[in-house]
Amino acid sequence: MRICTGLPTRQFQIAYMSGTRARNPVLDFEIDRAALRYTGTELQRPECILAERDGTLWSADARGGVMKIDPDGRQSLITQQRSGHFADAGNEATRYLQGTLPNGLAFARNGDFLIANFGTDCLEVMSRDGRSKVLADAIEGQAIGKVNFVLRDSKDRLWVTISTKIRNWMNALRTDLKDGYIAVYEDGGFRIVADGFGFTNEVRFDAREEWLYVAETTGGCITRLRIDETGAVTAREVFGPSSLGKGAWPDGIAFDSYGNLWGTMVYSDKLFVMTPEGDLRILLDEGDPAKVDALEKQFFSNHVTEEVLFATGVAQRRGWPASLSGASIFRPRGSALSKAAASLTSGRRSPVFP
């Protein structure tokens, strides 16, 4: 597994003129493929990345914890209980459906790791020395489902996405199933706040925490929810295009300080960005057209096979782009793109955009 980083083809500053920002720099932003570089070695499924201001990266690791990547490249693995299940599994179904599989990550206020475990279907917390406990393994008396991502807001509420209630998530990659939902964990209680999503993936709040943006992987779009002070949903709408185009399987999303929403498309290997007005730009497309076509054909017929699904992302030996993180992406008085990382769930390293 690997993390990819890249340099923009032009370095731009976000200028302030009489207190007003200049033209949105993402409108002119381009990625120079030759400038992409990778960080991290021998990672196992770095599905999600957290970044600290000093440049330290933390990536989810299929061995049962997180990998710390220091700014100088040194690595250290911190696990709840080290597992070789992911690497040793005989087939993809076993690899992705059994054992521990840390997926979404967030920092707790004290620096511990909040973990959405896609393997155990639990919401967990782990200290930086590996001590861990389960925060929730059921909701309203029922099994949670496939816990995908966790986000902590400024009030210490945990917003958790459940992609599907189907144990074998591969059977949920279809157009006619909308059983994904979002739940909030607060004061030891777990409640559902919104449902009816097509494979709920990562979520992010805007800067004011007024809108929660939701990546719907099988819905092919970004939905946003207006959230009031109590955490209740007061409005719901699609943000931007109703479909993000060919190979529209959005996965990870993250805001920059300019209000642009960056995202990845898993399986079709794309990096995209949406302006605050909802305009879409595809910045990078590394997918194999024939393999994306084959998967789309199966997807729209509601019959995705393991063989076709896991053929995507492998030919380029880069893996699936899954998540985005960064100490900052656009900084008002600094460089345009800084210490932003995109995780790849196959391969041995991950890409980073400095």
pLDDT tens digits for range 141-161: 999 999 999 999 999 999 999
Task: Give first-to-last CA distance, the chain, whole Å.
Answer: 19
Higher pLDDT pick, 316 / 243 = 243
Higher pLDDT pick, 3 / 175 = 175
Does 344 score more than 90 pLDDT?
no
pLDDT band at 74 (very low <50, low <70, confident <90, very high): very high
Does 19 score more than 50 pLDDT?
no
CATH number of the domain located at residue range(s) 48-327 in this protein: 2.120.10.30
How do 233-239 and 250-255 pair as beta strands? unpaired
Per-residue confidence (pLDDT) for residue 319, from 0 to 100: 58
CA distance 315 to 291: 9
Contact 236/223 with Cβ under 8 angstroms? yes
Higher pLDDT pick, 81 / 9 = 81
Q: How confident is the model over 210-261, as pLDDT tens digits?
A: 999 999 999 999 999 999 999 999 999 999 999 999 999 999 999 998 999 9
H/E run at residue 253? strand 250-255
Q: Across the chain, what does the average pLDDT equal? A: 83
Any residues with CB less than 8 A from the CB of 335 and at least 6 apart, and which? 11, 13
Among candidate residues 175, 348, 301, 325, the one with its CA nearest the CA of residue 251? 325
Among candidate residues 181, 134, 141, 140, the one with its CA nearest the CA of residue 161? 181
pTM given for the model: 0.85
Does 333 score more than 80 pLDDT?
no
Contact 295/301 with Cβ under 8 angstroms? no
Q: How many CB atoms lie within 10 A of CB 41?
A: 15
